[in-house]
Every structure is written in structure tokens, then in C-alpha cells.
Amino acid sequence: MFNLNVQIDLNSGFCFGVVYAIEMAEDILAEEGKLYCLGDIVHNDEEVSRLERKGLRIINHAQLEELRDEKVLIRAHGEPPSTYQLALANNLQLIDASCPVVLKLQNRIKNSYDKQEDIYIYGKHGHAEVVGLLGQTNNNAVVFQDLEELDIDSLPKEITLYSQTTKSTDKFYEINEVLAKNGITVKTNDTICRQVSNRDKELRDFAQNFDIIVFVSGTKSSNGKVLYKVCKEQNERTYFVSSLADVKSEWFGKGESVGICGATSTPMWLMEEVKEHLQKL
């Protein structure tokens, strides 16, 4: 027996947008036993599997085009206008669980586009949320993950800058500063979700308090990859697990302290399972 002292970071786990989407899905599944969802409801395979056992059916956009007369959940990431147009054409009832923070951002970008502003979005190429944001501009906005992707000398002298809601606030303002120093007037729109961005600092503090950190996250989670790196920088003995099968007993020593934390897409029940498992080692 290792007699590990195990503690879960209570600030980890689902953000309110994900909680909202999953609660909506569970309510409908409890009543009807079946619900389609456009894309993974959350980037965590264990949680998706749990909901699939209740009747959730994950579909992609190609499958959506073939669907008729059904209910379809829009996950927290949001969708572009084309998805809503398709739903009307196919007589689909959309259960819209788009995060309120994302919806507000979509509306602001649409207003900027209607004013014919030059829109730049700091975000991950191909990310579901970013696809929805681009859709507000007829795909005319410029998306970039790093300033190196932009030829600053050829940028318009005045731009409107937005960010994917889950990006780093520090990095966002660094980008603003560099652009301003290069003579570009930036109309800055800080639309970053603080519940997500504040996790960075919280985890830096948390990771320093334990001998070992077990970071629980789905392998598809962008947020998970970033926050795992944050923990690893603070505590070299940080290990990434997506399920109990990933946990290895050789990581631990007798009587050591273990902190369990996760991404905004990590269910608390999964972190609790990991804790129970560790306490039995």
C-alpha cells in the first residue's frame, strides 16, 4: 500500500457552458431516450461514452445534411449560421446549448462584419468555436494562432481584434501591444471567458502543492493540452491520463501527496474515480 494523500482540485471540471449543455442533453434523454448531437458534446471520451449509453448519438455535419425531422443538440461551442439554415430546410428541431459567452461573441463579430470592419480572430484553426465565429463573417475574417502567421507590414492600418473565448488573456494583450507598436490601430474586443482563462493561474498554484500531479483530460481537448503543460511547468512529476487505464503505479512513492486536476471538459465523476483508484494502491 502506498498510503497516498490524494486531493482533487475543486476548481477543476466542467465550465458552466459545458454543464448547461450536458444538463439539457440529460433532460431530453431521460424523457425520450434518444438525442442527436452535432459533434462531441464535450472533448472527453469517457463523458461522451456515458451519455451515449443513455441514448446520445454523435453526428458530424455530413450526417446532419442527411437527417430529417429529428431533434439535434448544438453543443457549447456554437455553430455558424449555415447550420441553422440547414436545420430549417431539413425540419430539424435544434436544441441550442451554445454557451452564452460564445453567443455574445458571435453577435459582436456579426455587428463588426455588418459595419465592414477588418476582423481578425485570435484562435485555433478549425476549432469548432472558431468555425462558428468565422461563419458570422461569411468566412471573411482572418484567423491566426500566432502573430508569426501574419505579415504585419501588410495589415490594414486599423483592425478589429477578437479572440476565441478560451485563449490566454496574457497572450491576447501581448498581441495587442505588438500590433500597436507597429503602428496599427486595434479596436480590441476582450471576449475571453474568465472562468477558463483564470484556470491557468489557479493550476500554477495548485500544482506546486503536491509531490505528484495527475492531470485528467480527454485527448481531444485543446484546453486540456494547454492546462497540462501549465501543470508540467510547475511540477515535473505531472502525468496526463484520460481514463483509469492510463494510471501507472510506478509513478508513486509511499506516503506521497497527489493532486488531481483537469480541463474544463473533464467531468468531476472521472476525477473522483481516479482518486478512489489511487487510494487503493
Which domain CATH number covers 118?
3.40.1010.20
Q: Which three cell numbers stand for residue 253?
A: 512513492
Dump pLDDT digits (tens) for 20-78: 999 999 999 999 999 999 999 999 999 999 999 999 999 999 999 999 999 999 999 99
Do residues 164 and 204 share a domain?
no
| Beta-carbon contacts of residue 61 (< 8 Å; ≥ 6 apart) | 38, 83
Task: Name the average pLDDT for the chain.
Answer: 96
Please tell me the pTM assigned to this model.
0.91
Residue 204 near residue 230, CB atoms below 8 Å: yes
**Is-catalytic flag, 272?**
no
Dump pLDDT digits (tens) for 77-109: 999 999 999 999 999 999 999 999 999 999 999
Question: How many degrees, rounded to 5, is the angle at CA 106 between CA 228 and CA 41?
Answer: 50
Question: How many degrees, rounded to 5, is the angle at CA 112 between CA 152 and CA 139?
Answer: 70
Q: Which three cell numbers stand for residue 171?
A: 497572450
Q: Which of 98, 117, 142 is the last residue of a domain?
A: 98
* Percentage above 90 pLDDT, the chain: 94
Residue 94 backbone dihedrals phi, psi, to 5 degrees: -85, 130
Residue 8 has pLDDT above 90, yes or no: yes
Residue 119 has pLDDT above 90, yes or no: yes
Do residues 184 and 202 share a domain?
no
Looking at residue 197, its pLDDT comes to: 86
| Domain extent at residue 21 | 16-98
Do residues 140 and 170 share a domain?
yes
Beta strands across the sheet bearing 212-216:
5-8, 257-262, 212-216, 238-241
Do residues 93 and 105 share a domain?
no
Residue 143 near residue 167, CB atoms below 8 Å: no
Looking at residue 195, its pLDDT comes to: 87
Dump pLDDT digits (tens) for 173-195: 999 999 999 999 999 999 999 98
Q: Which of 73, 98, 123 is the last residue of a domain?
A: 98
Do residues 163 and 217 share a domain?
no
**Domain total in the chain:** 3
Do residues 215 and 252 share a domain?
yes
Q: Which of 192, 221, 247 is the last residue of a domain?
A: 192
Do residues 203 and 262 share a domain?
yes
Looking at residue 15, its pLDDT comes to: 92
Q: What is the DSSP-derived secondary structure letter of residue 33?
A: S
Dump pLDDT digits (tens) for 225-275: 989 999 999 999 999 999 999 999 999 999 999 999 999 999 999 999 999
What is the Cα–Cα distance from 154 to 109, expressed in whole angstroms? 22
Do residues 9 and 20 share a domain?
no
Looking at residue 222, its pLDDT comes to: 85
Do residues 166 and 206 share a domain?
no
Task: Return the closest-CA partner of residue 73 out of 57, 88, 85.
Answer: 57
Cβ atoms within 10 Å of 50's Cβ, excluding its own:
16
For residue 3, is it left (φ>0), alpha (ψ between -120 and 50) or beta? left
Read off the pLDDT of each residue in 149-174 and give the average, rounded to a whole number. Answer: 94
Do residues 49 and 68 share a domain?
yes
Q: Please pick, among 129, 148, 202, 233, the residue that the annotation labels catalytic.
A: 129
